Structure formats: structure tokens, C-alpha cells
């Protein structure tokens, strides 16, 4: 796992908000990551469940889905690529609001929700990142309400979004 951990450290150091962390903190976060593999079409996150872990898309792609009122099927809101964080929006809002499915075989690096929330609390730079992202969510949600006349969640263009029914990678 040592080579994986160092690879995960490099990956974390390349994406926001982890790129704001000092080396020792990145190392500790990387050691807590659990890689999970998802098959094409498998749910990474479901809107009915508050995630126990955030998922950082490492390889592959996922679709962020939205449910329009009265629609029979979900719509793709965004194609997610490596570096996107899934699940954080639901965690900071305290409301399950994200659905994402793997578009192909996808590897996510997952981190316990408690560890991610503690990082948001403890690290000033990460807290500022979270505050900016929450503000974008509020702004986009307001635009969505104005356009539709309803109170629907609209993801940020900087959406970073989990559930856990995947295969643990050894």
C-alpha cells in the first residue's frame, strides 16, 4: 500500500482543496483514503442517503444526476472527471441531495465524512474553500429557484460531490 499511498498523496496535492494543505496533513489524509471501484452504471451517491464518506474521483467518469419535478427519469447535470469530490455538498448542507453514477469503470478514493468535516473545521485554508463553495451553491440555488419558480437544488459549476456500495480495492 506504500506505493498507492504516495500516489494518492500526489493526486490529493493536485486537487482543490487538498492542494492547500501542508505535506504532513496530505500524508495523513492519504493514509485514511479507501479506494473503491465502481462498475459502469453503479451508484456512487444516492440522493436519499446522507453519505458516510466523500468520494474523490480518481479514474473514470461519473454523471451527476438531477430530478426535475414531475420527470420520469433523471437528467445529467454534469459529467464528472478525475479530481471531482462527491458527497461534500450533502455533508455541509446536512441534507442528502446528490446522485452520481459511474459512466465506466471508476475508481474513487473515499474518506470518512467525519475526517472530511474535521478537516473543514481544523484547516483555515480548507475552511475558506468550503465557505466559497457553499456560497456558490447558494447563488446557484437562488438562480435555479428564480428560473423555475421552485426550491430545487442546482449544483455549482465547481461541484465536488458518494454512497458506498462498491468494491474495495486491495
The grid coordinates listed for 91 are 455533508
Q: Is 58 helix (H, G, I), strand (E, B) or coil?
A: strand
Percent of the chain with pLDDT over 90: 48
Q: Which of 111, 112, 142 is nearest to 8 (CA)?
A: 111
Is this prediction's pTM over 0.95? no
Asked if residues 116 and 103 have their Cβ atoms less than 8 Å apart, the reply is: no
pLDDT at 1: 45
pLDDT at 157: 43
DSSP helix, strand, coil percent of the chain (3-state; round to 5):
40, 25, 35
Tally the C-alpha atoms within 13 A of residue 74's C-alpha that lie toward its C-beta: 14
pLDDT at 109: 97
Stronger pLDDT, 28 or 151, i.e. the higher one: 28
Lowest mean pLDDT among 64-68, 108-112, 124-128: 124-128
Percent of the chain with pLDDT over 70: 78
The grid coordinates listed for 69 are 419535478
Q: pLDDT for 67-99, tens place per residue?
A: 888 888 899 999 999 999 999 888 888 889 899
pLDDT at 144: 55
Which residues, 6+ apart, have CB-to-CB distance to 124 below 8 Å? none
Average confidence (pLDDT) over 1-12: 76
How many residues are recorded in the chain? 170
Amino acid at each position: 500500500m506504500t506505493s498507492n499511498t504516495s500516489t494518492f498523496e500526489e493526486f490529493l496535492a493536485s486537487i482543490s482543496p487538498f492542494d492547500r494543505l501542508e505535506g504532513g496533513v496530505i500524508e495523513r489524509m492519504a493514509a485514511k483514503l479507501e479506494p473503491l471501484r465502481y462498475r459502469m452504471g453503479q451508484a456512487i451517491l444516492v440522493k436519499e442517503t446522507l453519505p458516510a464518506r466523500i468520494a474523490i474521483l480518481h479514474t473514470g467518469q461519473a454523471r451527476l444526476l438531477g430530478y426535475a419535478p414531475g420527470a420520469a427519469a433523471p437528467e445529467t447535470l454534469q459529467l464528472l472527471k478525475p479530481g471531482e469530490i462527491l458527497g461534500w455538498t450533502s455533508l455541509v448542507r446536512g441534507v442528502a441531495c446528490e446522485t452520481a453514477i459511474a459512466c465506466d469503470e471508476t475508481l474513487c478514493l473515499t474518506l470518512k465524512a467525519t475526517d472530511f468535516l474535521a478537516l473543514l473545521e481544523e484547516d483555515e485554508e480548507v475552511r475558506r474553500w468550503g465557505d466559497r463553495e457553499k456560497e456558490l451553491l447558494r447563488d446557484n440555488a437562488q438562480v435555479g429557484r428564480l428560473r423555475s419558480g421552485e426550491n430545487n437544488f442546482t449544483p455549482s459549476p465547481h461541484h465536488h460531490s458518494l454512497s458506498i456500495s462498491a468494491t474495495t480495492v486491495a
